[in-house]
Chain A
């Protein structure tokens, strides 16, 4: 059957989102990682706008705005400043080599689609596949957090996960109630501020942001 145009748009954005997620998973350089994150945020904003427009859910405009501010502007900006302040220019080294990660990622995507398939047929919303994609991108960012060794990249993975969640919220359920959205946004903001603070402390304590310095606390 022929989907309505905006639905196709949303699917397109969903695909972009997934693509970006993969890109982040495969990305070695941290700066471009941040840019990719920003791009993901942008895609998120666009898709939110489309949903808002097509379904006349006005509060989605606010959340789109919120996302724009937070995920596209503020957070990348903070991260850039951090990197400059900590002058880190290193490449992201991973625990598992990239191709392997990609393969696992593909498996995850398939799994996520299967997972979402039974659910999304209940979706009265215009977009069926998006839930699966959201799940997929969440799992992918999870995978990214597992495989990266630098605190910063872990944080980015965390935020990317946040993106996926947000996408799920908007596309699958036309967004959560405003108060919740605000709360979530606030938490993300505060959270990333704390991250920032932490980077400095970690840096000055361990002379590096490499998390394998932080393996002292364990059972021996």
Chain B
């Protein structure tokens, strides 16, 4: 970098602190909200950019460590910035830059009183995520991890007057806390009783196979809860819609990725000695999560809930990648393992970008129309063309369509899963193809899902009269979306460059990267294993299509003509057509509901034929509530009911307790 005096680690520590500072300033500026939106958030965005640069820089640089003058007596806060942390800093900075820009416009018309606090929580949230990524001891990690949960909780409950938001926040924090306890216990397993909680010490711990597996399961559970893995995903579709859209974008785009980071850090780095059985666990759960998520997204008609479910799906896909790489590493095929890990990391980055973009788009819609229910939208493209374009890019990207970025990571996943012949265990060899099939299915379903979203929301005609004509998003907001849209293109068109960086991460983490010939094939051709085996060049791809399109256009215009008449759409011989006759989002999800009926818990109310004003209502619910969570709640209530008998008011009985306790102990002591 150009200023050699500064180390990456120093920058990585300083920038989040600046964030917190900005937040405090924002709190101080509560009187003048204009300044908060116009100054604090853009400044925060700049910090994000700097942080992204630091991350990129750190991926190349050797790991740097530092010790902060705080923390427990034996345990000052350790921070360390290695390639992996760098990559996630890049992710955090890159995405939060766009989101902060958007937020600068989005929060303009939140009432001034809340704004200062909002700014503080927002920036503390960002800062704690940054610290999670660079923390190098269990204590700092846990602190920042929970502060992240806490800050986001307060953001989720910003509109706390709404009962649903409170419920969402509660479930969110509860799941997060229980997950955190799991992580805590995992650290407990790793650390040897002596008070040394640095990651070096945890790395050094020798574990019996049983305890290693226990640690793995605890970590997987803990981080899975945060990532929204099945069956711990329930908080996600509640919390994301409740939060203000930029925050949803951050939570879905970045926060879930910190969970992925934690998983990789703990499992690959701290526990080490990966087993393929672990990998299989991750793989299968990932597949289940992915399929489940997208199916629910397809039947959802609340835009932000839909996006949340789709996040569940993408987390599942990332887990599939991690699982593949663990399986390969566990059975001694480091190169394939590296491929899987690269796929996972790349998908994490992609998902962060396009999901951020989509949530921002949803936010723009929400702000200009006040709508979240797809069934009430329609024809927004005419009112907010820029948003529509950005959203289109996001939708194409998430549907894993070439030449955008979503496709690249999915492509890598498939390549990784095609390495399966190397494996020997027949179980795995027959399971991996099935997972690949599930992955393919998910990809296609995602396409369907986002055709539904885009077609219903932006295309067609307005389904209902709005109070005010929808306005195009403000300049700040468009800037934010533009940034992420460009990122989608860049990551889609120049994957090789990014993958080169991620390869360094792999080298640093598991000591192996892609083969030389793969790296050798140049920036234009992406060939993870060997160009004879598989190759993909998005640029050529795009150029050819563009060229053909242009050519055809010119030729057609030249040979024939460009005459055009405007008319009403053909009414199919039924003149009284109204916009309400368009298919609704529910209608679009109908085939899915029918085909995958057992997955859902569908409640329908079909009116009788002679009903004067018939009303058809239907709701799709998550079986997990009834199968898992409510029973647990009931069990707790039952137990507490019985323990409550202890406290039944009679002093004689209380005396009896202590008497019996005494006798029992005396007998015991004898």
Contact = CB atoms under 8 A, between A and B. Distances in A.
Direct contact of A and B (CB under 8 A): yes
Contact of B649 (A115, A143, A216): A216
Given A115-B666, A115-B670, A146-B656, A211 B651 contact: yes
B553 interface: no
Contacts of B608: none
Contact of A111 (B644, B645, B649, B663): B663
A147 B647 CA distance: 18
A217 B655 contact: no
Interface string A195-220: 00000000000000001101111111
A218 B648 contact: yes
Contacts of A142: 655, 659, 662
A95 B652 contact: yes
B647 A146 contact: no
A212 B666 CA distance: 30
Q: Is the interface of B mostly helix, strand, loop or mixed?
A: helix
A219 B647 contact: yes
A146 B649 contact: no
Given A142-B659, A218-B647, A147 B652 contact: yes
A219 B659 contact: no
Contacts of B652: 95, 145-147, 149, 211
A219 B648 contact: yes
A218 B654 CA distance: 11
Contacts, number: 39
Contacts of B663: 111
A143 B666 CA distance: 16
B650 interface: yes
Interface in B595-649: 644-649
A217 B649 contact: yes
Contacts of B655: 142, 145-146
A214 B653 CA distance: 12
A133 B655 CA distance: 22
A214 B655 CA distance: 14
Nearest to A143: B659
Interface residues of B, number: 16
A28 to B, nearest CB: 17
B666 A215 contact: no
B651 A214 contact: yes
A179 B58 CA distance: 71
Nearest to B656: A146
B542 to A, nearest CB: 69
A168 to B, nearest CB: 15
A111 B663 CA distance: 9
B666 A146 contact: no
Nearest to A108: B663
Contacts of B656: 146
A118 B369 CA distance: 85
A88 B645 CA distance: 33
A143 to B, nearest CB: 7
A204 B403 CA distance: 87
A212 B653 CA distance: 11
Nearest to A135: B666
A114 B670 CA distance: 9
Interface in A65-98: 95
A137 to B, nearest CB: 15
A219 B651 contact: no
B387 to A, nearest CB: 56
B636 to A, nearest CB: 15
Nearest to B666: A115
A214 B649 CA distance: 8
Contacts of B670: 114-115
B14 to A, nearest CB: 53
B644 A219 contact: yes
A212 B651 CA distance: 8
Nearest to B658: A142
A118 to B, nearest CB: 8
B650 to A, nearest CB: 5
B663 to A, nearest CB: 7
Contacts of B645: 219
Interface in A91-133: 95, 111, 114-115
Interface string A140-153: 00110111010000
Contacts of B646: 219
Contacts of A154: 651
B666 A218 contact: no
A104 B478 CA distance: 84
A115 B667 CA distance: 8
A154 B656 CA distance: 13
Nearest to B667: A111
A100 to B, nearest CB: 14
B155 to A, nearest CB: 36
A215 B659 contact: no
Interface in B109-150: none
Interface in B484-518: none
A35 B644 CA distance: 40
Contacts of A111: 663, 666
A154 B650 CA distance: 13
Contacts of A149: 652
A154 B655 CA distance: 11
Contacts of A220: 644
Contacts of A216: 649
Nearest to A115: B666
Nearest to A217: B649
Contacts of A215: 648-651
A132 to B, nearest CB: 13
Contacts of A115: 666, 670
Interface of B: 644-652, 655-656, 659, 662-663, 666, 670
Interface of A: 95, 111, 114-115, 142-143, 145-147, 149, 154, 211-212, 214-220
16 contacts: A114-B670, A115-B666, A142-B655, A142-B662, A143-B659, A145-B655, A146-B656, A212-B650, A214-B649, A215-B648, A215-B649, A216-B649, A218-B649, A219-B644, A219-B647, A220-B644
Given A142-B655, A146-B656, A211-B651, 16 more contacts: A95-B652, A111-B666, A114-B670, A145-B655, A146-B652, A146-B655, A146-B659, A147-B652, A212-B650, A215-B648, A215-B649, A215-B651, A218-B648, A218-B649, A219-B645, A219-B648
Cβ-closest 5 pairs across A and B? A218-B649, A219-B644, A215-B649, A219-B647, A146-B655
